[in-house]
Amino acid sequence: METRWLYQTSEKLAELRDAAKGVCVIPMGCVEKHGLHLPLGTDIIQASHLAYMASQIENVCVFPDFIFGDIQSKSPSAPLGTVSVSAELELLLLEELCEAISRNGFKKIAIYNAHGGNKALLAHFLRTMYSKKRDYVVCVIDVDLPAPHGMAEKIEKFGKDSIPELNDEDVELILKYHTENMHTDHASFDEAAFILGICPETVHLDRLGIETGKNFGKTKYLSDAGIYIANGGWDVEYPNWFAGDDPVGCNERIGKAAVRIEAERVANAYKVLKEDENLLKWLDEYQQGW
Ligand SMILES: [Zn+2]
């Protein structure tokens, strides 16, 4: 069924709300540089596409994309195309949107987040949601990127036929990268796979090798001493907005497999949320006497 909020009529939204058992999902990402080889919208493209795909397996309502994730875009060194708003505005906007969703009768709201930099903000947001009386719950589902390590573990456990999209060369590549403990973080193999699986025409693997995704190690003396600095020192360590080894050989087959695996995982999270009878009860108990 059509599960996107914007594609419903008022009447149809009520039908969808029943089918979704009151669950509404907000895809969340950001707009930032992903090396020279992936698009600026990498995170929100993943969140949007996967949230919708999963909703086709397990029906929930998919709210329009929340694209303004938490990034440091106001620095003069921020690359072209980087966009964000202040954290204060983000928190306010998220809260107002959740209030609006709740007024429309969706009492379980999940933020499906595909930007690592949003995690701290969202953890704080969930805590602030307890500062006022509410009749709905908000939770977060973080993206899980299965290529190459999750896929390698699956192949080792269940055999290569457990991921039918892959050919023998793909399997070999994934196992090799896993054995070599390839570093995957930002714009590396894992995200390249998703974008190759969703919109391959926006990926430019021929731009690999020009800017490194290696960690410069400049802040290690601080972390070794147990000192945590802003963003874990990420901005200093990865000035190319690329963190990880080059995703050489990643391709559309691997991408399609990664997208399917993640969509199934997220669909299961939707199912658990739809069937859950505790979250609203616990909220009620917490708020008793307010
Ligand atoms: Zn990303």
Report CA(71)–ligand 1 centroid distance (Å): 11
Report CA(18)–ligand 1 centroid distance (Å): 33
Type of residue at 169: E
Spatial CA neighbour of 243 closest among 233, 253, 257, 230: 233
> What are the backbone dihedrals phi and psi of residue 214, each rounded to the nearest 5 degrees, phi first?
-75, 150
Are 31 and 82 in contact by the 8 Å Cβ rule? The answer is yes
What's the pLDDT score for residue 290?
Answer: 78
DSSP assignment letter at 181: T
What's the pLDDT score for residue 273?
Answer: 98
CA atoms within 13 A on the CB side of 26: 26
Mean pLDDT to the nearest integer, 113-124:
96
Report CA(142)–ligand 1 centroid distance (Å): 12
Q: What is the three-class DSSP state of 76?
A: coil
Mean pLDDT to the nearest integer, 181-185:
95
Q: What is the three-class DSSP state of 62?
A: strand
What is the pTM for the complete model shown?
0.96
Question: Does pLDDT of 84 surpass 90?
Answer: no
Q: Which residues of the chain are in CATH 3.40.50.10310 domains?
A: 5-144+263-282
Percent of the chain topping pLDDT 70: 100
Report CA(241)–ligand 1 centroid distance (Å): 9
CA atoms within 13 A on the CB side of 246: 13
How many other β-carbons are positioned within 10 Å of the β-carbon of residue 147? Answer: 32
Calpha distance 179→155 (Å, rounded): 13
Q: What is the three-class DSSP state of 39?
A: coil
Report CA(152)–ligand 1 centroid distance (Å): 21
Report CA(50)–ligand 1 centroid distance (Å): 14
Pairing of strands 243-244, 184-186: antiparallel
Report CA(42)–ligand 1 centroid distance (Å): 6
How far is C-alpha 243 from the chain's CA centre? 16
Type of residue at 245: D
Mean pLDDT to the nearest integer, 173-197:
97
Report CA(19)–ligand 1 centroid distance (Å): 32
5-144+263-282 CATH: 3.40.50.10310
pLDDT tens digits for range 48-78: 999 999 999 999 999 999 999 998 767 777 8
What's the pLDDT score for residue 231?
Answer: 86
pLDDT tens digits for range 119-139: 999 999 999 998 899 999 999
Q: Which chain residues have CB less than 5 Å from ligand 1, an ion?
A: 42-43
**Alpha-carbon radius of gyration of the chain:** 20
